[in-house]
Homo-oligomer: A and B are copies of this chain.
Amino acid sequence: MSLETYWKQREQLIREDRAQRVDTARIQSLTELEKRADRIVRDVRSAEAKSIWAMDSQSIFDYNPEDATPNVFPGMAFLTARETVMKTRLFQILSKMPKGALLHIHLDATVNAQVLLNLAAAQPNMHVRASARLTIRNVKAILPEFRALPQSEFTDRTSLTDASYTGNEWIPLHKARKTFDETLGGADGFDSWCISALMINPSEAYGTHDMPTKIWAKFSNIFRISHPLVYYAPIFEEYIRLFLLSSVEDGISFLEPRINFFHKTMAGADGTENISHREWFVIFENVVNGVKKELRQQGRENEFTGAKIIYTTVRLVAPEDLEWYLEDCLQLKKEFPHLLAGFDLVGHEDSLRPLIDYIEPLTRFVERQKELGIDVPFILHAGETLGDGNAPDMNLYDAILLGTKRIGHGFSLVKHPKLMDICKERDIAVEVCPISNEILRLTSSMPTHPLPILVNHGVHVALCSDDPAIFGNMGLSFDFFQVLVASEVTGLMTLGEFARDSIKYSSLDDAEKVHALALWEERWQPFLRWVVQEQMTSN
């Protein structure tokens, strides 16, 4: 065989191998602008792989562990990489990119923990307690507990660190913060104590809790601790507003948060537990409209298409108790058809009930929708596991048989050739959460994440942040970054296709999608021009 023939066959083989990728068609017809921007981003990535991530900076034969630098490389574990990521030019570029829709995010883990704490401190009814007086010796072991109390239950206690605190007494949060002992850091120490209970830190993810079951113990605890803060009506409203606004700042134009309706009420301003699910929807809708108005006043209405709710409850409920939630969801859909996008069951798949346990109520739910003439698609978590053939991996079969519109995570989907084919045939997209998967220890870093397998097999994906308040991956720029640096096939044009797909596979109706896509394209072109211009001025 001549070398010329060899090279031709090689190109042909690579082309066939990549034929199913979502970016393949577009790459064959790029404009000059697109080609240049893509090239620039690839060059920045290569340069920073050497200058920042040091991947090629040492010969393997010269490596001496005695003077070992930390194990840095592109796509390394996020919690230890975050500060470095933020200093890269690549991240600065991606921060400006229009991202499309964010389709997998749990509402109660979307706003920075410090910001949440500040919101809480402004609420006179919000209280905090600890199981014992906090001292330098126990402060790391004792977790805070929050609750909005009605005035009738207020006490005259003011400090968690005072000798008179005997444990478990509620203190108004703003007072507890102000009176936090100086030896424990004062008000800042109070905030640190709370924030360490509301986020995952590197020594947990990569040390003590370095396996899914253990890190989920911390992760689940965070939701239990933050719940009374987020699901308190005055905070809830402002929390949603900040979530939407910060998302828009990161270039996200549409959102489908999953809201946890497991608790049947939340506390209202006066601390009484009486705000029904219906009122949660009303608050949500008001905030969405408020944000739209705010942006319109700034001439930025094109940056935000809106937001819809995915109704979720937790895989803790007994199958017979699920009926209540399904009926609740149907009633809400009737009243808020434009606002309710779908139904999901959430929680740690490895330890909670598999979907098949709920098969009776879930199939009845489908029948009920037909009776009522409404459509509430399933948008189910499935396959968020390392298992092969275990219950959470088997959830993928049930999610697909139940007709799920998208798959949440689908981390183990790559093990299922038939299910990947079905996803392509039935246009089921996968909500891939790269940083979440890594911090929750399904992958040790991005280079071992299965995303390229899905992409090369032609399964459509939307990149998502899952729980950014806990992981620190606010917006979508961090997840886009981690994906981009971990593959040499993936480029800026690939990320553009992911953004387009996030809109195509959203719960917007057809007309809304056309509109949202057009608005996205309107922002994409100036973004590419900016990438090219920045490059010219910086060189």
Binding site for B on A (CB under 8 A): 1, 3, 6, 9-10, 13-14, 16-17, 19-20, 55, 58-63, 65-66, 68, 71, 73, 141, 204, 208-211, 213-214, 216-218, 220-221, 348, 351, 359-360, 363, 366, 386-390, 393, 397-398, 400-401, 414-419, 442-444, 447-448, 450, 452-453, 456-458, 486-490
Inter-subunit contact B418/A9 (CB<8 Å): no
Q: Do A217 and B444 form a contact, CB below 8 Å, given A401-B13, A457-B417?
A: no
Instruction: Name the residue among A17, A62, A221, A442 with the largest chain B CB count within 10 angstroms.
Output: A17
In-complex Cβ contact of A60 among B58, B60, B210, B348 (8 A): B348
Inter-subunit contact A488/B363 (CB<8 Å): no
Chain B residues with CB below 8 A from A9, complex form: 401
Chain B residues with CB below 8 A from A3, complex form: 359-360, 363
Q: Do A71 and B419 form a contact, CB below 8 Å, given A387-B447, A401-B6?
A: no
Bound form: Cα–Cα A373–B489 in Å: 41
Inter-subunit contact B489/A63 (CB<8 Å): no
User: Can you name the residue of chain B whose Cβ is closest to the Cβ of A60?
Assistant: B217
Inter-subunit contact B348/A389 (CB<8 Å): no
Bound form: Cα–Cα A363–B489 in Å: 27
Inter-subunit contact B490/A388 (CB<8 Å): yes
Inter-subunit contact A59/B448 (CB<8 Å): no
Inter-subunit contact A389/B217 (CB<8 Å): no
User: Can you name the residue of chain B whose Cβ is closest to the Cβ of A363?
Assistant: B1
Chain B residues with CB below 8 A from A416, complex form: 17, 456
Inter-subunit contact A486/B388 (CB<8 Å): yes
Say how far A346's CB is from chain B's closest CB, in angstroms: 14
Chain B residues with CB below 8 A from A360, complex form: 3
Chain B residues with CB below 8 A from A208, complex form: 65, 68
Chain B residues with CB below 8 A from A210, complex form: 71
Inter-subunit contact A10/B68 (CB<8 Å): no
Chain B residues with CB below 8 A from A214, complex form: 60, 63, 65, 68, 71
In-complex Cβ contact of A17 among B68, B213, B359, B419 (8 A): B419
In-complex Cβ contact of A10 among B216, B398, B457 (8 A): B398
Chain B residues with CB below 8 A from A393, complex form: 488
Chain B residues with CB below 8 A from A13, complex form: 397, 400-401, 418-419
